[in-house]
Amino acid sequence: MVGPAATLTPLARADGSASYQCPSTGSNILGSVNAPVELPGRRDALKPEEATVEVFVKPGTAPAGVGERYVEGIIKGVLGRLILGRERGYPRRGVVVTLATVGGDSVGRGDSYLTLLPALLHTALLALLSASVPLSMTFSATVLAVSDSGEIIREPSTEQAAAAKSLHVLAFSSKGHLLLNESQGAFDFETWEKVHQRALAICHGTSAIGSDGDVAMVEDVDGQPLEGTIRETIEDQVHRDYAWKIDAV
């Protein structure tokens, strides 16, 4: 499986930015973060003790609608728990996250945003890292579809997702906690447990779920865990940023 391709800080004006290309859906998300910024227009909404997180999702080829507001709420929920909004300089300020779909299909009205959600989440995380916003942890997310025959498909295409019986997005923190779960479509709890296990393997590799016979096979299918991909992207960036220092040593 081809891993996602990500670039940190492709933009000049925003405080932090990231571009993320998801191989399976073909979607390309560009994200920017401005933090900490003043939000004078929303003085009433500002919190006296911590930062206000704002997320804006802009679809590629359609006007934004209720679906975007909903997915913004989900992303805000995850990031709100991640961003250390009480660190110095952040209270009463805003952390503005802007995500635009600049390639690939857009989501129609009333359609599920779930297939795009992991890409949006990863872009937001990388953009936050690029903007050096203090975070309590990182995470990785994946989307899985369960087909009519009960087969679990990793990162389904739009058609596969439409035909699937149920669709699940799971995000795990770098420490292995289940941070986010969004499941829709008919399923029972046993199915979800299988999905959960598979998702954990995708995000964290198989070491996290112990070592019985089946597990080794799973690793071959899924390749490098996502957590590693995210980590490598950041390591590369840090390497580049500190090239002067490393060379000097």
Query: Minimal distance in Å, beta carbon 122 to another protein?
Result: 16
Query: Minimal distance in Å, beta carbon 233 to another protein?
Result: 20
Dihedral sign, CA of 196, 7, 117, 138?
positive
Query: Minimal distance in Å, beta carbon 147 to another protein?
Result: 15
Other Cβ atoms within 10 Å of 231 Cβ, number:
14
Tokens of 199: 């998702």
Return the number of the residue (193 or 239) whose C-beta is nearest another protein: 193
> How far, in Å, CA of 231 to CA of 111, rounded?
32
Return the number of the residue (147 or 183) whose C-beta is nearest another protein: 183
Q: What is the H or E stretch that residue 136 is in?
A: none
Return the number of the residue (13 or 245) whose C-beta is nearest another protein: 13
Between helix 226-241 and helix 189-204 the angle, nearest 10°, is: 30
Return the number of the residue (85 or 220) whose C-beta is nearest another protein: 85
Query: Minimal distance in Å, beta carbon 248 to another protein?
Result: 30
Residue 206 — φ and ψ, nearest 5°?
-85, -15
Return the number of the residue (47 or 239) whose C-beta is nearest another protein: 47
Return the number of the residue (109 or 245) whose C-beta is nearest another protein: 109
Query: Minimal distance in Å, beta carbon 247 to another protein?
Result: 28
Query: Minimal distance in Å, beta carbon 92 to another protein?
Result: 14
Please, what's the b/e burial string for 30-42 (b: 16 or more CB within 10 A of its CB; e: otherwise)? bbbbbbbeebeee
> How far, in Å, CA of 187 to CA of 184, rounded?
8
Region of 26 please: left (phi>0), alpha (psi -120 to 50) or beta.
Answer: left
Residues 6 or more apart whose Cβ sits within 8 Å of residue 226: 3, 4, 140, 141, 142, 202, 203
Query: Minimal distance in Å, beta carbon 245 to another protein?
Result: 25
Return the number of the residue (50 or 219) whose C-beta is nearest another protein: 50
